[in-house]
Structure 1
Amino acid sequence: MKKRRVVVTGIGAVTPLGNDAATSWSNAIEGKSGVGPLTRINADEYPAKVSAELKDFNVEEFIEKKDARKMDRFTHYAVAASLMAVKDADLVITDENAPRVGVWIGSGIGGMETFENQYEIFLNRGYRRVSPFFVPMMIPDMAAGQVSIALGARGFNSCTVTACATGTNSIGDAFKVIQRGDADVMVAGGAEAPITKMAVAGFCANTALSNNPDPKTASRPFDLNRDGFVIGEGAGVVILEELEHALARGAKIYAEIVGYGATGDAYHITAPAPGGEGGARAMKMAIDDAGLSPEQIDYINAHGTSTDYNDKYETMAIKEVFGEHAYNVAISSTKSMTGHLLGAAGGVEAIFTVLAIKEGILPPTINYETPDPECDLDYVPNKSRRKEVKAAISNSLGFGGHNATIAFVRYE
Structure 2
Amino acid sequence: MIPHVRRSACADPERSIVRHEVVITGVGPILPNCDDRRTFWHHLRAGQSQLAFEQNPADPRVAAPMGRIRDFEPNRYLHGIPERLYERYTRAQLIYLASIMRAIDDAGIEPSELRTDRVGLFDGTSRDNFDFWHTALRERGPALKKRDLVVSIPGVSVGVAASLLGVRGPTFTYSCTCTSGAVAIGHALRELEAGEIDMACATGHDAALLPPIYEMYGDADLLSGERTDARQAVRPFVEHSKNAFGEGAVSLILERREHAEARGANILAVLSGFRTGNNGEHPTSIDPGGRRPAELISTLLRRHGLVPEEIGFVIGHGNGVEASDRSELSYMRLVFGEHAGEVPLLSTKPIYGHTFGASSALSVAAAALMLDRQFVAPTVNIHHERSTSGLFHQHGRGQSRRLGAGLVVAYGMGGQNSVLLLERAREAAESRAA
TM-score when normalising by structure 1: 0.93
C-alpha separation in 1, matches of 2:114 and 2:57 = 46
Contact 2:100 2:201 in 1 (8 A): yes
1:145 maps onto 2:159 in alignment: yes
Q: Which amino acid aligns with 1:54?
A: I
Aligned to 2:256: 242
- Which of 29, 40, 44 is matched with 1:24 structurally? 40
Deviations 1:145-181 (A, max 9, x none): 2222232211111011000001111101110011012
- Change in Cα spacing, 1:218 to 1:94, as seen in structure 2 (3 Å) is closer
Aligned to 2:315: 301
The alpha carbon displacement at 1:118 in A equals 0.5
Q: Please say which of residues 154-163 and 373-382 is displaced more in the overlay.
A: 373-382
1:101 maps onto 2:115 in alignment: no
Aligned to 1:178: 192
C-alpha separation in 1, matches of 2:114 and 2:148 = 34
Q: Please say which of residues 276-285 and 28-37 is displaced more in the overlay.
A: 276-285
1:121 maps onto 2:121 in alignment: no
Aligned to 1:73: 91
Matches within 5 A, 1:308-387: 308-369=322-383, 371=385, 373=387, 375-387=389-401
- Change in Cα spacing, 1:174 to 1:164, as seen in structure 2 (3 Å) is same
* Structure 1: gaps spanning 5 or more residues: none
Aligned to 1:53: 68
The alpha carbon displacement at 1:21 in A equals 2.5
Aligned to 2:104: 86
Deviations 1:276-295 (A, max 9, x none): 22221222233234331111
Give 3-state SS (helix, strand or coil) of 1:283's partner. helix
The alpha carbon displacement at 1:359 in A equals 0.5
C-alpha separation in 1, matches of 2:101 and 2:291 = 38
Q: Please say which of residues 351-360 and 366-375 is displaced more in the overlay.
A: 366-375
C-alpha separation in 1, matches of 2:259 and 2:32 = 33
Q: Which amino acid aligns with 1:192?
A: D
Q: Which amino acid aligns with 2:135?
A: N
- Change in Cα spacing, 1:132 to 1:202, as seen in structure 2 (3 Å) is farther
Aligned to 1:10: 26
The alpha carbon displacement at 1:370 in A equals 5.9
TM-score when normalising by structure 2: 0.89
C-alpha separation in 2, matches of 1:17 and 1:372 = 31
**Number of equivalenced pairs:** 406
Give 3-state SS (helix, strand or coil) of 2:289's partner. helix
Q: Which amino acid aligns with 1:3?
A: R
Identity across the alignment (%): 25
Contact 1:79 1:150 in 2 (8 A): no
Contact 1:10 1:240 in 2 (8 A): yes
- Change in Cα spacing, 1:49 to 1:338, as seen in structure 2 (3 Å) is same
C-alpha separation in 2, matches of 1:254 and 1:378 = 26
Give 3-state SS (helix, strand or coil) of 1:306's partner. coil
Contact 1:261 1:289 in 2 (8 A): no
C-alpha separation in 2, matches of 1:66 and 1:206 = 42
Contact 1:222 1:372 in 2 (8 A): no
- Change in Cα spacing, 1:233 to 1:326, as seen in structure 2 (3 Å) is same
Give 3-state SS (helix, strand or coil) of 1:208's partner. coil
Q: Please say which of residues 205-214 and 395-404 is displaced more in the overlay.
A: 205-214
C-alpha separation in 1, matches of 2:207 and 2:98 = 13
Contact 1:52 1:233 in 2 (8 A): yes
The alpha carbon displacement at 1:401 in A equals 0.6
Aligned to 1:276: 290
- Change in Cα spacing, 1:298 to 1:86, as seen in structure 2 (3 Å) is same
- Change in Cα spacing, 1:374 to 1:276, as seen in structure 2 (3 Å) is farther
Contact 1:118 1:131 in 2 (8 A): no
Q: Which amino acid aligns with 1:121?
A: E
C-alpha separation in 2, matches of 1:339 and 1:388 = 28
Q: Which amino acid aligns with 1:22?
A: R
Q: Which amino acid aligns with 2:302?
A: D
The alpha carbon displacement at 1:81 in A equals 0.9
